Amino acid sequence: MSATSSASSTNPFTSVLDANKSKVPRKLTPFHHYFKLHYNAQIKAEYSHRFQLAKNDYHAAMEEERVAKDLQAPVAIALRCEVG
């Protein structure tokens, strides 16, 4: 047996400590950095307003209008990215 295998087999904590290692945090992309800084101050109000308008337009339209205008139910995350 080599010295490293005997050392790891005698210490039961090495396997536990190796399993709980976390990854190094990554740097935010420019989009995510901007979003994190300005969401509450600038983006949230505009997003809420646009999402409510899109939801009202979708629910007010008849089935024929939805097909003619190609309206789909608004998706929150897609609209949030569009506003951001």
* Cα–Cα distance for residue pair 35/28, rounded to 1 Å: 10
- Do 22 and 28 meet the contact criterion of CB atoms below 8 Å apart? no
- 1: CB partners within 8 A, 6+ apart: none
Question: What is the pTM assigned to this prediction?
Answer: 0.53
Of the candidates 30, 79, 35, the one whose C-alpha atom is nearest the C-alpha of residue 53 is 79
Q: What pLDDT is stored for residue 3 in this prediction?
A: 52
Distance of CA 74 to CAs 28, 50, 55, 59, Å?
Answer: 27, 10, 6, 10
Per-residue pLDDT of the chain (84 residues; tens, 9 = 90+): 455 555 556 777 776 666 667 777 788 888 888 888 888 888 788 888 988 998 998 888 888 888 887 778 888 877 777 776
